[in-house]
Structure 1
Amino acid sequence: MSKLLWQKQGVAVDADIQAFLAADDVILDREFIAYDIRASRAHAEGLQRIGILTQEELDGIARELDALADDLARGVFVLDERWEDMHSAIEDRLTERLGDAGKKIHTGRSRNDQVLVATRLWLKDQLDEVTSSCTAVARIALTRAGVERDVPMPGYTHLQRAVVSSAGMWWAGWAEAFIDNAQRARVTRDWLDANPLGTAAGYGVNLPLDREHTTTALGFARMQVSPPYAQLSRGKFELAALETLGSAMLDLRRIAWDLSLFTSAEFGFVALPAQYTTGSSIMPNKRNPDVIELMRAAYASVAAAKVEIEQLMSLPSGYHRDLQFGKGGLVHGFLRGLGALRLLPALLAALEWKQERMRSAIEPSMYATDLAVDLARQGLPFRDAYCEAAKPERWAEGDPATSLAARVSPGGTGDDHLHVLEARLAQITAN
Structure 2
Amino acid sequence: MKSVLWEKGDKIDMVMQELTVGNDHILDKEMVIWDCIGSAAHARMLCSIGILTKADTESLLSELKNIYALGKDKKIDIPANLEDVHNVIETMLVEKVGEVGMKIHAGRSRNDQILVTTRLHLRNMLLEWLQSLSGFLQICFVRYTELKDVLMPGFTHMQPAMPSSVGMWLHAFIENSLELISEGLMLLKIINVNPLGASAGFSSNIPLDREYTTNLLEFSRVQRSSIDCNNSRGRFEEKVLHFGANIAGLFEKMACDIMLYTTREYGFFSLPTELTTGSSIMPQKKNCDIVELLRGRGAKIRASALEVVLITAKLPSSYNRDYQYTKEPVIRTRHELGEMFRMAYLVISRFQVNKDRLAECMYPDLYSTYEANRLCQSGVPYRKAYRMIAEKLRNGTYDKKDLEGDFLIIATQTEKYLKEAKQDFDVLQKEIEIWAKKFESIEKNIFSV
Structure 2 residue runs without a partner (length 5+): 432-449
- Counterparts of residues 274-289 of structure 1 (less than 5 Å): 274-289=273-288
Counterpart of 1:256 in structure 2 is 255
- Counterparts of residues 110-121 of structure 1 (less than 5 Å): 110-121=109-120
* Alpha-carbon distance between aligned partners in 2 of 1:74 and 1:220, rounded to the nearest angstrom: 26
Equivalent residue in structure 1 for 2:405, among 402, 410, 428: 402
1:344 aligns with 2:359: no
State how many pairs are aligned.
427
Deviation of the 1:2 alpha carbon: 3.1
> Residue type matched to 1:166 in 2?
S
1:208 aligns with 2:211: no
Counterpart of 2:353 in structure 1 is 353
CA contact (8 A) 1:146 1:418 kept: no
Deviation of the 1:228 alpha carbon: 0.8
Counterpart of 1:69 in structure 2 is 68
- Equivalent residue of 1:203, what SS? coil
Deviation of the 1:396 alpha carbon: 2.9
- Equivalent residue of 1:267, what SS? coil
Stretch moving more, 333-342 or 350-359? 333-342
1:304 aligns with 2:303: yes
CA contact (8 A) 2:371 2:403 kept: no
* Alpha-carbon distance between aligned partners in 2 of 1:373 and 1:345, rounded to the nearest angstrom: 39
User: For residues 65 and 157 of structure 1, do their structure 2 counterparts lie closer, same or farther at Cα, with a shift above 3 Å needed?
Assistant: same
- Equivalent residue of 1:34, what SS? helix
- Counterparts of residues 186-335 of structure 1 (less than 5 Å): 186-313=185-312, 314-335=314-335
Deviation of the 1:87 alpha carbon: 0.3
Counterpart of 1:2 in structure 2 is 2
User: For residues 97 and 349 of structure 1, do their structure 2 counterparts lie closer, same or farther at Cα, with a shift above 3 Å needed?
Assistant: same
* Alpha-carbon distance between aligned partners in 2 of 1:356 and 1:198, rounded to the nearest angstrom: 65
Structure 1 residue runs without a partner (length 5+): none
> Residue type matched to 2:227 in 1?
P
> Residue type matched to 2:322 in 1?
D
* Alpha-carbon distance between aligned partners in 2 of 1:321 and 1:75, rounded to the nearest angstrom: 26
CA contact (8 A) 1:131 1:183 kept: no
* Alpha-carbon distance between aligned partners in 2 of 1:170 and 1:335, rounded to the nearest angstrom: 28
* Alpha-carbon distance between aligned partners in 2 of 1:430 and 1:396, rounded to the nearest angstrom: 50
Stretch moving more, 151-160 or 326-335? 326-335
* Alpha-carbon distance between aligned partners in 2 of 1:271 and 1:63, rounded to the nearest angstrom: 55
> Residue type matched to 2:203 in 1?
G
CA contact (8 A) 1:94 1:102 kept: yes
Stretch moving more, 14-23 or 387-396? 387-396
> Residue type matched to 1:130 in 2?
W
CA contact (8 A) 1:138 1:176 kept: no
Deviations 1:319-365 (A, max 9, x none): 01011111111211222123202432343122221111111111122
The two structures have a TM-score, normalised by structure 2, of 0.91
Counterpart of 1:183 in structure 2 is 182
Deviation of the 1:82 alpha carbon: 4.9
Deviation of the 1:190 alpha carbon: 1.3
* Alpha-carbon distance between aligned partners in 2 of 1:369 and 1:142, rounded to the nearest angstrom: 29
> Residue type matched to 2:38 in 1?
A
CA contact (8 A) 1:150 1:168 kept: yes
Deviation of the 1:71 alpha carbon: 2.2
CA contact (8 A) 2:367 2:404 kept: no
Stretch moving more, 24-33 or 66-75? 66-75
User: For residues 59 and 406 of structure 1, do their structure 2 counterparts lie closer, same or farther at Cα, with a shift above 3 Å needed?
Assistant: closer
* Alpha-carbon distance between aligned partners in 1 of 2:155 and 2:364, rounded to the nearest angstrom: 14
CA contact (8 A) 1:154 1:162 kept: yes
> Residue type matched to 1:192 in 2?
I
Deviation of the 1:193 alpha carbon: 0.6
- Equivalent residue of 2:410, what SS? coil
Deviation of the 1:401 alpha carbon: 4.8
Stretch moving more, 394-403 or 24-33? 394-403
> Residue type matched to 2:27 in 1?
L
* Alpha-carbon distance between aligned partners in 1 of 2:216 and 2:251, rounded to the nearest angstrom: 36
Deviation of the 1:399 alpha carbon: 6.2
- Counterparts of residues 49-128 of structure 1 (less than 5 Å): 49-128=48-127
* Alpha-carbon distance between aligned partners in 1 of 2:383 and 2:100, rounded to the nearest angstrom: 84
Deviation of the 1:400 alpha carbon: 7.6
Counterpart of 1:377 in structure 2 is 377
* Alpha-carbon distance between aligned partners in 1 of 2:283 and 2:115, rounded to the nearest angstrom: 52
* Alpha-carbon distance between aligned partners in 1 of 2:250 and 2:141, rounded to the nearest angstrom: 16
Stretch moving more, 248-257 or 279-288? 279-288
The two structures have a TM-score, normalised by structure 1, of 0.94
- Equivalent residue of 1:189, what SS? helix
> Residue type matched to 1:359 in 2?
A
CA contact (8 A) 1:376 1:382 kept: yes
Deviation of the 1:397 alpha carbon: 5.1
User: For residues 75 and 329 of structure 1, do their structure 2 counterparts lie closer, same or farther at Cα, with a shift above 3 Å needed?
Assistant: closer
Counterpart of 2:43 in structure 1 is 44
Deviation of the 1:187 alpha carbon: 1.0
> Residue type matched to 2:238 in 1?
L
> Residue type matched to 2:410 in 1?
R
User: For residues 15 and 284 of structure 1, do their structure 2 counterparts lie closer, same or farther at Cα, with a shift above 3 Å needed?
Assistant: farther
* Alpha-carbon distance between aligned partners in 1 of 2:345 and 2:417, rounded to the nearest angstrom: 22
- Equivalent residue of 1:278, what SS? coil
User: For residues 342 and 198 of structure 1, do their structure 2 counterparts lie closer, same or farther at Cα, with a shift above 3 Å needed?
Assistant: farther
Deviations 1:254-303 (A, max 9, x none): 00001111111111111213343222233232221111111111221221
* Alpha-carbon distance between aligned partners in 1 of 2:79 and 2:203, rounded to the nearest angstrom: 31
* Alpha-carbon distance between aligned partners in 2 of 1:250 and 1:402, rounded to the nearest angstrom: 35
* Alpha-carbon distance between aligned partners in 1 of 2:307 and 2:109, rounded to the nearest angstrom: 25
RMSD: 1.8
Stretch moving more, 334-343 or 122-131? 334-343
Q: Percent identity?
A: 34
* Alpha-carbon distance between aligned partners in 2 of 1:399 and 1:148, rounded to the nearest angstrom: 23
